Amino acid sequence: MGNLILQMGVSLDGLVARPGRYGAGGWGTPPEDPALKQRKLDLIREAEAHLMGRNTYEEMAEFWPGSDDEYAEPMNSIPKVVFSTSLERASWPETRIAR
């Protein structure tokens, strides 16, 4: 059995990201520390799957497939599972819907 790891950026007052700001970095702002960026890339590459809800999926599926960001390759190639009762189909490659 594998490990389940939650990685989430939250400010001290509980803010995760403003609505509609994911493509602009959400809560994160450049420049990103090189060591932190490498650690985050390593975590993504080591993961066996990315689990998310419909809202997160819709924002990420719109952003990552066309991105040239260094995170794009691992984000696009990792298997993804979307937990949703309303999402009809998943167009982002390597994605399945769990109901």
- Check pLDDT > 70 for residue 43: yes
- pTM passes above 0.85: no
Secondary structure of residue 2 in the 3-state scheme: coil
Helices (H), the chain: 34-46, 54-63, 72-77
Domain that holds residue 98: 49-99
Q: What's the total number of domains in the chain?
A: 1
| Residue 5 confidence class, pLDDT cut points 50, 70, 90 | confident
- Examine residue 31 and state whether it is found in any structural domain, yes or no: no
- Examine residue 70 and state whether it is found in any structural domain, yes or no: yes
- Examine residue 6 and state whether it is found in any structural domain, yes or no: no
* Average pLDDT of the residues in 65-75: 93
